[in-house]
Chain A
Amino acid sequence: MRESLISEQNELDSVIKILPKSVFLSLIKTENPILPKISEIRLRVGGACSVTVCAENLYLCSDGAKKEPQNLISVTQSDIDSFLRDFCAGSVYAYESTIKNGYVSIGGIRVGICGAAAEKNGAMNGFSEITSINIRIPHHIFGCSDGLFAELSQSDVGKEGILIVSPPGAGKTTMLRDIAIKISRKASAHPPFRTVIIDERREIFTEKFFFGCFADVLSGVSKELGIECAVRVMSPEIIICDEIGSKAEAGIISDANISGITFIASIHGKNVHDVFAKPWIKKLFDDGVFSYVYVLSRKTDGIVGKLTKILPESEKNNA
């Protein structure tokens, strides 16, 4: 299953094949315009199974995905366990470290896990019972970063740090992936940059999209360790990472930036004010690590963003 997920043209097809029977039957009865746009499939023991299509939640019913809860399908504990086993190619234990963090990610498909968590020494230590899963299907939107590159001045591409801000599910990871593909390839406006992607949850890098790119990936490792390793051994010009937020991560980014590395990262938030509410993130702007904020919002036909240049505190005072 692992190998077939990576080589499958359509990730949705590869997941549908191993879903519980009731879910499979419901999905194949779903109308064609909806089916390819499914971004999430949620299975819940004792609850309603649903799919998310363009930010809208639909019930999984016996006759397909519907807006109204009629003839809802159900799944059992055994269905979810069986799906996870098939997803992990019969080796669930091999993903113990990520399961302890509540997810499994293979071939770009991330399965979020919920249930009765086991705790050890104050940290999550896996699950004694898994009662719901959220299967996130990646949909890459080629060219979604065109708007960003159009607004950036040519001299700033690859030189000035960009922080992408958006609420969950609005397309941060998709945007980062598209930026990584563009920036590590030769274009008329800029040369290819040596790019390292710190892919902690194995969601950004998909081999088939990065053909011809000067991109290296460090996956399944924390951002702190990944950045430190990348700086030491890969001499990157640009580092791309997803969902920064902690003080430790901000610290390591700041240190790496001193070496002349440009950062393109994402963070949860609705707007610039949300971002600046965290003093250690504001400090990154004051220190010049990031110069731009790109706030995303998801529309039915794609991702849109608004680019704002943020001057460091010192330049604001001089102005």
Chain B
Amino acid sequence: MPLLELRDVGKDYGSVIALDGITSTVRAGEVTCVLGDNGAGKSTLIKILSGVHRADRGEMLLDGQVVSFGAPREALDAGIATVYQDLAMIPLMAIWRNFFLGAEPTRGRGPFRRFDAAQARETTRLALQEMGIDIRDPDQPVGTLSGGERQSVAIARAVHFGARVLILDEPTSALGVKQAGVVLRYVAQARDRGVGVVLITHNPHHAYPVGDRFLLLNRGRSLGSFAKGEVDRDELTRLMAGGAELDQLAHELERPTS
């Protein structure tokens, strides 16, 4: 049984159909890549999965049960964690404070209930170490980390808090080749720990090596869902850019042969 399943999911913003007829599955220990150009409906899909919006049509199944989330907190509590592109962390706050943000461990009771800072620091260090992330000092502000490091810490955080489904929104888009590789390695690590990963990207070169399943979106509609064996990288790239449209473009851009 898949961990998460979408059946014919759709969403409208007023009279605009943002997403329609999306069907896909996410299995534990697998990476499902959602590929699409700008405006393809990737962000709308994330918002439905993470509980920011409710789907207008179709249904979402978690462990075979129909679910519908009214708030990000509900999705989180069900084990669906989302790491957003630029909005994953608060730059001015220390790493350990970010790590436990919204899920702070406490000590004491009543008016003396307090944030257990010592434990938070130590747990952050251990959790990062477990994922093989080398952070010099958990007290440094997140703003001093590189983009790749930030994404890695965010992934480690989601895994630490028992995410069963991890949604990554364009984790590699703002990064250089080397940094992107680092992040993809942590994606693979989360997968190996049995997490079902949804990797959202517009870069087939990042998606292909790590993905087990590919969902292609174009203008809010599905262009098909493929397992890794059914499609190769070039085909993926071509489909993503709109297939025929790209052929047309290539034709137009060719030098006139006279």
Query: Is B a genuine binding partner of A?
Result: no
- On B, residues with C-beta under 8 Å from A are none
Which residues in A have some Cβ–Cβ distance to B below 8 Å? none
